[in-house]
Amino acid sequence: MSTSALQVALLGCGTVGSEVVRLLQEQAADFEARCGAKLELTGIAVRDLEATRPDHVPTELLTTEAEELVERADLVIELIGGIEPARSLILRAINHGASVITGNKALLAAHGPQLYQAVVDNDVDLYYEAAVAGAVPVVYALRESLAGDEVTRISGIVNGTTNVVIDMMETEGKTFAEAVKTAQDLGYAEADPSADIDGYDAAAKIAIMASIAFHSRVALDQVHTKGISELTPEQLQAAKDEGYRVKLIATAERRAEGISIWVAPSLVPLSNPLSSISGADNAVVTESKAAGRLMFTGQGAGGAPTASAVLSDVVAAAAKRVSGGHAPRELPYAALPVLASDERIGIYQVRLLVRDTVGVLAKVAQIFADAGVSIAKVQQATRARHDAVLSLTTHATSYGQLAEAISQLRECDVVANVQWVIEVEG
């Protein structure tokens, strides 16, 4: 057992990185007691040495030589984000025997398997609590707390930006474009908000969670992903009138046929606790055979909350450098297939503008029946002149069958318009 100081290298010193530096300074004595060794920050790799940074960041530790830095570290904290140079630096660190802590969801969703294997080959650890839902410890939950159980479903609100945008559209009646603009002005959305808005940030997170929970490999491009840009204030209002709230929900289900995984704006009934998650909070619900339903809620982003997640991983990784052992490994031993988009199973609400004449419902119902889609509920929502609005909710159905029905409905003479098709969360 070595108790000499552990050398910690930090890659990136933005909002989260500078909070990590602060916590390492402020809680040095705590971390030493918890890890069994001092943590010594030996360098901070940045692109621009001259950029403005908080006073507590020691300028003498800044360096542009990231490659050299990771080669002499016991622990490497990667907070650069994106694929390169993050991937090469992490692999270099692992190959030099360092354990790595990262918050890089895009990298894990795209290249996780390569990193997981490198970790096994080099007998080091990879931790990434900060990659999913900020301070909310869902990676711990799936890697450790539910390791004695069989997870059957994960669903959650894991992107704060979209939640803020939808909130503004719902409560202030803003259009999508207006709400995005306001979210940008308030610092909730990035200058280029597409990764959030189009659902890819949430897709990366659910891919990571599903890989752990189902002990299988799930890649980002296997996640059926739909963003929020087509939502309208009218749709949110109509949902509210029917007792739902609209949220961007990321879901992964373990089914007999394989893993069904998607990200989509969804109707969430008020009885579901996810309906009450507002603002930038994140929440994840896990369902497992023995434990039943568990819910984890908290701040999903921001410098300090994300730094808290990073540091918990640092403490765990450091303790293992001192006393041996390793983190749970991402072994894809279950090797479950991921269902194609058409095969995934969901519940949908379809809203149609139809001619208000006798026999319309029979025609519409027949189209669903022909496609093999079973209807759970039909409601005539509104009526205007010669038209009526029909709202139909399906039973669980495959997306392929639903798409077939929708395609037929668009052809049907009594249907003026398919207003929307939206997921329903149970």
Which residues are identified as catalytic? 205
Distance CA 247, CA 265 (A): 5
One residue of 47, 56, 72, 293 binding its own copies per CB under 8 A: 293
Give the nearer residue to its own copies in terms of CB position, either 286 or 397. Answer: 286
Structure token digits, residue 202 = 């949430």
Site for its own copies in 295-354 (CB under 8 A): 295-299, 304-305, 307-316, 319-320, 323-326, 328, 331, 333-334
Give the nearer residue to its own copies in terms of CB position, either 35 or 168. Answer: 35
One residue of 146, 195, 261, 415 binding its own copies per CB under 8 A: 146
Q: Which of 145, 108, 146, 377 lies closest to 254 in space, CA to CA?
A: 146
User: Smallest distance from the beta carbon of 396 to its own copies, in angstroms?
Assistant: 24
CB 81 within 8 A of CB 102: no
Give the nearer residue to its own copies in terms of CB position, either 293 or 410. Answer: 293
Determine whether 120 is exposed, middle or buried from the number of CB atoms within 10 Å of its CB (0-12, 13-18, 19+). Answer: middle
Structure token digits, residue 101 = 């802590």
Residue 72 touching its own copies (CB under 8 A): no
User: Smallest distance from the beta carbon of 8 to its own copies, in angstroms?
Assistant: 12
Site for its own copies in 357-416 (CB under 8 A): none
Tokens 């960041």 locate to 57
User: Smallest distance from the beta carbon of 246 to its own copies, in angstroms?
Assistant: 21
Distance CA 214, CA 309 (A): 23
CB 96 within 8 A of CB 71: yes
Beta strands at 281-288 and 292-299: parallel, antiparallel or unpaired: antiparallel
Distance CA 350, CA 219 (A): 29
Structure token digits, residue 162 = 């979209």
Q: Which of 173, 315, 319 lies closest to 235 in space, CA to CA?
A: 173
Site for its own copies in 111-130 (CB under 8 A): 129
Q: How many residues sit in the footprint of its own copies (CB under 8 A)? A: 57
371's CB contacts (< 8 A; 6+ apart) are 401, 402, 404, 405, 408
Give the nearer residue to its own copies in terms of CB position, either 322 or 396. Answer: 322
User: Smallest distance from the beta carbon of 21 to its own copies, in angstroms?
Assistant: 12
One residue of 9, 10, 17, 31 binding its own copies per CB under 8 A: 31
User: Smallest distance from the beta carbon of 367 to its own copies, in angstroms?
Assistant: 41
Distance CA 260, CA 27 (A): 42
User: Smallest distance from the beta carbon of 305 to its own copies, in angstroms?
Assistant: 5
Tokens 């009934």 locate to 269
190 to 229: interface string for its own copies, x by CB under 8 A: -------------------------x--------------
Residue 30 touching its own copies (CB under 8 A): yes
Give the nearer residue to its own copies in terms of CB position, either 38 or 215. Answer: 215
CA angle 265, 268, 270 (to 5 degrees): 150
Residue 58, preceding peptide bond in cis (omega within 30° of 0): no
Binding site for its own copies (CB under 8 A): 19, 23, 27, 30-31, 33-34, 129, 135-137, 140-141, 144-150, 215, 273, 276, 288-299, 304-305, 307-316, 319-320, 323-326, 328, 331, 333-334
